A = this chain, B = another copy of it.
Amino acid sequence: MFQTFDEKTVSETSKNRIYLLREEMRKKNIDAFLIPRNDAHMGEYVSDRDKRLEWLTSFSGSAGYCIVFKDKAFLFVDGRYTIQAENQCDENIFEIRNIPKNSLIDCINESFEEKALIAYDPWLHTIEQILEIHSNKKKNIELIEVDNFIDTIWIDQPIASVELMVPHLLKYSGQVHTEKLEIIGNILSNVGQSNVILTQPDTIAWALNTRGTDLIQTPVALCFATINASGIANLFIDPKKVDDELRKHLGPNVVLHDIKSFSLFLKTLSGIVRIDSNRAPIAIKHILEIAKVSFTYDSDPILKLRACKNKTELEGSVQAHIRDGAAVVEFLSEIQYAQPGFLKNEIELVKLLESKRYATGKLKNISFDTICGSGPNAAIIHYRVNTKTNRTISLGDVVLIDSGGQYLDGTTDITRTIAIGSVAEEVIDANTLVLKGMIAISALRFPKGLSGRDIDSIARQALWSKGLDFDHGTGHGVGSFLSVHEGPQAISRHNNVPLEPGMIISNEPGYYKKNSFGIRIENLIYVKECLRDKNHDDRCMLEFETLTLAPFDLNMIKVSSLNEQEIKWLNNYHSNVYKKLNSILTKSAKKWLKAACIPI
């Protein structure tokens, strides 16, 4: 099993650990110390060695930060994690604060009237984060960079992973890395930049066509890199992660260095160096300043290149989705055949689904911990089942299952919400509205140049008409055997990046009724150019192609609420699901799928 279900509760160790930390602060004459969830790469996942926030506070969420004062401590988390933080942390030690309602800077400013010294590890905070504190703090407060105090007091801190970095084959990437490096070099030279400093393992992985297993569920090796205007890369990585196969793959245009020499190397750079101030640790800024290296803030140039998948990547994704869809259908058929008298719990469902994906023989990992919520649990948008919350599913329940797989040819992410037996009319009505929104995006055509913000309302219109809505974006970008959450594109009120052909994105409207039920329907789709109709305008129009293959639960749909176009779309989709999957299914799943895909 890739996923675990340990219940993480209030830590009894926090008391001792925070005592040790304050001892360390006292020795160094420090009034407060910052502990973020991030590592130096600022990604969604961190390795066990970098779980400093969790070690100290017991909070295991994917975002948050703690500030420890001499006599108090605050844990800042967003709305997704408030309840989880309350459950996991000792609130006698850590006061939990909601962001963005509360801000770290206010907390700092309110805490000190006299001169005070706040310490932080410069590798764990971005340039933007520290500059923001600097420009808003009161004058009596000073910031100081230190070696991480947690690393000093954490006796049994895990050693860094030394898993191999491996080549990602051309048959999956579709473009040799030397060509990618050349393109990046040209981008730099066109704007007069000499080098770009890369601190995110997932953009380095894309540029060098490499992958790894240092992080859970995102297949990358932790490393840093630079690429210069001639398209030559310098890769900084633990030598234990490098073997001859990798060396051969990287070739002469990628110079290998021990990750320990990264800082020293940065000092040797000349010309104007590009850094992404939203992603790069503030340590890098300071290293360049001390060495008098000129630099400019600019976004990572790989983000835009990587977002538009090439033909090979899209074909890979199609294959991954056939495989993954078949696994999901095996799973669905098994649990839906089981009724009536069905009695499984959420953890059993997660295990069953993972076993189906594993049985494909090609699963590298799940792409995130499966969200499997039944009844009121499904109304918690980021619900992860554990042994304490685990709920036995019985007739009349609605189950939301949001899951995905990492395959060499593609990353998947799918949500289906299913009825166990017959469910309330309110649930069917809501599910039908969510489905209408999902179909509206799936069937949408729109002019090139628009961003996710411009189309987000299309997914919500049906829900809005009944006074309903959902409090998350409609969709996020997805990588190609990389992160399941990959920018810069998204279907969201907050995203202004124009949608471009080749971008893979999720389409996942939902509806959540607190303490009652939750619904989400999710397919992955990709952007492509429309064929032009006869009377078509003289403009470039885009549309979406659906990747995900698995039926929607027809027992959850009120057919009379769908219009002709929606019914046509749904029947076409189901017919396509059956056509693509039936030949690779077990006999019983095939039989089930045939019934599940029957035209309405």
Question: Which A residues form the contact surface with B (CB < 8 A)?
Answer: 426, 429, 440, 443-447, 450, 453-458, 460-461, 464-469, 493, 530, 532-533, 535-537, 539, 541, 563-564
Nearest residue, chain B, Cβ from A541: B467
Smallest CB-CB A-B distances: 8 pairs: A467-B536, A445-B464, A467-B533, A563-B563, A468-B537, A467-B541, A446-B464, A454-B457
Determine which residue in A445, A467, A493 has the highest number of CB atoms from chain B within 10 A of its CB, and name it. A467
Determine whether the beta carbon of B457 is less than 8 Å from that of A446.
Answer: yes
- List 18 additional contacts besides A429-B535, A445-B464; criterion CB under 8 Å: A426-B535, A445-B465, A445-B467, A446-B457, A450-B493, A453-B453, A453-B454, A454-B456, A457-B457, A466-B533, A466-B536, A467-B533, A467-B537, A468-B535, A468-B536, A469-B539, A563-B563, A563-B564
Contact partner, A469, options B447, B456, B469, B535, Cβ 8 Å: B447
Nearest residue, chain B, Cβ from A455: B457
Task: State the Cβ distance, A556 to closest chain B Cβ, in Å.
Answer: 16
Determine whether the beta carbon of B456 is less than 8 Å from that of A458.
Answer: no
- Bound Cα distance A465, B440 (Å): 11
- Bound Cα distance A426, B537 (Å): 13
Determine whether the beta carbon of B530 is less than 8 Å from that of A467.
Answer: yes
Task: State the Cβ distance, A468 to closest chain B Cβ, in Å.
Answer: 5
Determine whether the beta carbon of B447 is less than 8 Å from that of A541.
Answer: no
Residues of B within 8 A of A455 (CB): 457
Residues of B within 8 A of A465 (CB): 443-445
Contact partner, A541, options B426, B464, B535, Cβ 8 Å: B464
Determine whether the beta carbon of B457 is less than 8 Å from that of A535.
Answer: no
- Bound Cα distance A86, B445 (Å): 36
Determine whether the beta carbon of A537 is less than 8 Å from that of B454.
Answer: no
Determine whether the beta carbon of A535 is less than 8 Å from that of B466.
Answer: yes
24 contacts between A and B (CB under 8 A): A426-B535, A429-B535, A440-B461, A444-B461, A444-B464, A445-B465, A446-B460, A446-B464, A447-B469, A450-B493, A457-B457, A457-B458, A458-B458, A458-B461, A464-B541, A466-B535, A467-B532, A467-B533, A467-B535, A467-B537, A467-B539, A469-B539, A563-B563, A563-B564
- Bound Cα distance A21, B329 (Å): 80
Task: State the Cβ distance, A518 to closest chain B Cβ, in Å.
Answer: 14
Task: State the Cβ distance, A576 to closest chain B Cβ, in Å.
Answer: 20
Residues of B within 8 A of A446 (CB): 457, 460, 464
- Bound Cα distance A444, B465 (Å): 7
Residues of B within 8 A of A536 (CB): 466-468
- Bound Cα distance A429, B535 (Å): 11
Residues of B within 8 A of A467 (CB): 445, 530, 532-533, 535-537, 539, 541
